[in-house]
A and B are shown apart, each in its own frame.
Chain A
Amino acid sequence: MWNLFVAEWLRYRNLIVISALAHLLLMVALSTQTNLTHMPLVHFWPMMLTVMAVVAGALQFFNHKRHNNWVQLLHRPLPPERIFAAITLAGISMLGVALVLPYTLVQLYMDFQGSYDIELRHYVFIAALCLQLVAAYMGGAFSVLYSQRLAFLSLFLLWGFLGVSMNINLLALGAVSAAGFGWLLHASWRPDLSRPFHGPLRLVVSELMIQAGMLAALSTVLLLVFQLGWSISSTDPRRAPEAGTANTLMRAADARDLLLAALEGSTHPDSDLLRQQIRIGEAIVAGVANVKSYPRRNQRPELDNNLELGDQEHQVTWHFSHSRMLFEGRHTVTQKVVGWLGTAGFHAAGSPPQDQFTSVPWVTSNGAVFIIDDGSIYRVDLQHQVLQLRFTLAAAQGERFNDSLTFKDGLVTLLSNKNLYLFRSAELLDEEAKKPLAISARLPLPPIYQSELSNYQQHINVMELVDGYLIAVLDNQPVMGTEGDFRKFEDSTLTLYRTHSDGNNQFDNELIHQRSLPSSFSTSFAYKSFVLAPGMHLFMDAWDGVFDNKAVELALPLVYHHFPPLVLLLAVLGCGVSALATYALLRRVNWPASAKITWIVFNACTGLVGLMSLYWGLLYRRELKPGQRASGEARP
């Protein structure tokens, strides 16, 4: 085994040495220019390394797979497992040297030099990156080795790494993916490469991965087909939406129109009065809020956007340290620590102060600079090095701000996971303000906003009344959005509230009217992937919901009950056709009965995508023999 390991290293030694040196030189060059661990490039670096790991695994195993090489490799007095271990360990160690080692060395050097604040999470990230690369390498190798041409589609699952924001989650996902791909790769490592998996567990796991990628690929192709059709006929629902849809309102309506639209069909006794008020009053577009993400402690370092304050006058960059939960100020030239910034304000260099932030904040600026953490808004005066607490949330359980602070027409909107807050921008920007910032309006939002990475877009339009505000909220979930309740289709509502404050931060919010807006997209477009593969759709929705932490609650497929009956009927029909056609195809191949039953049941659940996967697999392995019966008897 050791000999094989060494032989494999000798085979690729030149390539590995050159790659490692080139990588190291590039890293060193970049590290002299910027903080390597936080540069924007680092966001794409892991993905680029992942692609290289996939290619490395695929190439290495392709070289071994070619017929006579394969015989030469496996026809020796060694258990296949030991040969597998030698080849795979050699590949992984080579990846480590070429891809991970240069990165680690440069980071260690930066840490040793003390020019940047390198924290434990940066090293955890490298460990997670290692696992990610191992998974990618195994995936690349599996896609080449397994006797199914579409096996490469399983690599689609590697996109999942992009959606993980926490190092610890990345470690877990890397470990699970590496173990999963490793298991499949090991299972497909056998002398006869032409045989597919027949064991139920291997079959189901491999097909789930392959068909998930297949569904994604098919959906992309269909999307392009739809887009082509829309472009030719000039009926793109995004550019030329039908009247009355959310897209129409978002694109065309001004604030007043949207407030009026929210009143359409209202039976509220004050409807007419409100309509008149809207017509003569001044409506404000309070902003479009794109809820992105909460910065979290020990998140992936390359996600550290908006965690830096640049003070050009004093030549200091304040960077938030996750390990100390303080902003650390470093001179931009000497890179020496010149001070600290905590919740109590600025501190001179020395031992870190105790006024740490309780959560990882984010920084925004709109003329003035603000630091916002879970429950507080601080105004930062870099010139005079003053930190001013402007607002603190009442101690409501579990409430926290997200990164949606928007200044527009004299109003500031800020979303928490429970409420919409309105402030007056003049008050927030006032440098001389002594009093805490007053809330203009606080509007409870539906529980859907508790989701961390909601793709909802909110258009908030406000009109100031004598004793409060009229607030129209247009919630528009994009057609490809994802939610915890497994719905992935455009779902828009336009809601009108009237708020009234008693002056003591107590608000009386009245729901005036709520209307659902029809989708701009056709039924066939919205439900295409569901009809193609209901089972896979459920699996992928669950994956999104659970692993991306988007789920409000773990819902059951019963949530699909509100789909149009025709869509449900077509989906069931597709599953039935898939199961019957699978049965018909498998009558012509010589497989064990258990494998056939697994395939039929599996395809009855996954739908037409499963049937396509089976058919292409049979074609690739040249297993379709016209007229041959399941008994396995050869044709005369």
Chain B
Amino acid sequence: MLRNVIETRGLCKSFDRKQALHQMDLCIPAGGVHALIGSNGAGKSTLFRILLGFLTADSGDCLLLGQDSRQLTPELRGRVGYVNEEHTLPDWLQVQRLKAMQQQLYPQWNDNVYRQVVGNFDVDPTQRVGSLSRGERAGVNLAMALAQSPELLILDEPTLGLDVVARQAFLEAILFCTQSNTTVVYCSHQMDEVERLAESLIILERGEVKVNCSLDEFSGRVQQWMVPAESRELVLQKVPQLLSSRVIEDHLWMYVLDAPPAFASQLKLLGIAEATGASVSLPDAVRAFMTRHHAGQE
């Protein structure tokens, strides 16, 4: 069995003067749901386009299910599902006709999965795709992607613009998928979704992989500490692990990455006697990590 569904080595891609991907090394193992997050322009879409062979990297290697992404065969494309944020589907076709067309293309089509997922969205099969609501459209798109029984399913911000009900139904469908052998790469800005679905977390920043570990591991790496507000300057100068900080009333609340076990002692050595540490939630940890360049700003 394939060990890594996605593997990139030294991947570089730039547009004009902007470097979209820079020496990106990324391995995503088979199985489970892997969350891919990053701020706008971090290189997520560029990575997906290179992975699917719709963009050529300037340099580096990129393997999708073990195959060079520049030369993906039709057979391999059949093993990779892709759902984008716009849920691009042929608007002019009826849902049932679209389904019939897709069904013919994929020999491993699982009609039970399709019906189960679409059932969550209450879609009329005789309706034209163009007349579906955004949520129904997303449901049909996901149902078709899942019914293909793909080995790898790439979801690029699929819940963008969905209402609460549709989002709930969508996430349930993905959870259903995690029971199969499909590896899911889930790209989203919604941290609650990531927390609920994903097993591992990949954070992209300026075209580089900054974090690639399990959710628990990442949460454990970020801690929140509260120190007196007057020690702010000292903290900013002497605490290299600082991610971000904020003064609230008389206290400075700071997020710290990879704080050593004796972090409180380290602070004491700096003359900060009163320091209280606490663990943080994943959304807070990710937010603190992604805003670390603005550390010190209040």
Contacts and interface: CB of A to CB of B under 8 A. Distances in A.
A550 B22 CA distance: 58
B19 A634 contact: yes
Contact of B17 (A3, A79, A626): A626
Interface string B69-86: 000101101101010101
User: Binding site of A, secondary structure by majority: helix, strand, loop or mixed?
Assistant: loop
Nearest to A10: B92
A75 B52 contact: yes
B234 interface: no
Interface residues of A, number: 30
A79 B105 CA distance: 12
Contacts, number: 79
A71 B52 contact: yes
Given A590-B59, A625-B17, A635-B19, A70 B54 contact: yes
Contact residues on B (Cβ < 8 Å of other chain), bracket: 35 or more
B88 interface: yes
Contacts of A74: 54
A436 interface: no
Nearest to A193: B54
A78 B17 contact: no
Contacts of A590: 58-59
Contacts of B55: 192, 194
A635 B74 CA distance: 34
B12 interface: yes
Interface string B18-49: 01001100000000000000000000000001
B101 A3 contact: yes
A77 B12 contact: no
Contacts of A632: 58-59
B90 A7 contact: yes
A191 interface: yes
Contacts of A467: none
A311 to B, nearest CB: 56
Given A3-B101, A3-B104, A10-B93, A78 B88 contact: no
Given A7-B90, A191-B53, A77 B75 contact: yes
Given A75-B77, A192-B54, A634-B12, A69 B88 contact: yes
Contacts of A268: none
A193 B56 CA distance: 9
B93 A78 contact: no
A292 interface: no
B265 interface: no
29 contacts: A3-B104, A7-B101, A10-B92, A10-B93, A67-B54, A68-B84, A68-B88, A70-B54, A71-B54, A71-B82, A72-B88, A75-B77, A75-B80, A75-B82, A77-B74, A79-B74, A191-B54, A192-B53, A194-B55, A194-B56, A195-B56, A590-B58, A624-B16, A625-B14, A632-B58, A633-B59, A634-B14, A634-B22, A634-B59
Interface of B: 12, 14-17, 19, 22-23, 49, 52-56, 58-59, 72, 74-75, 77-78, 80, 82, 84, 86, 88-90, 92-93, 97, 101, 104-106
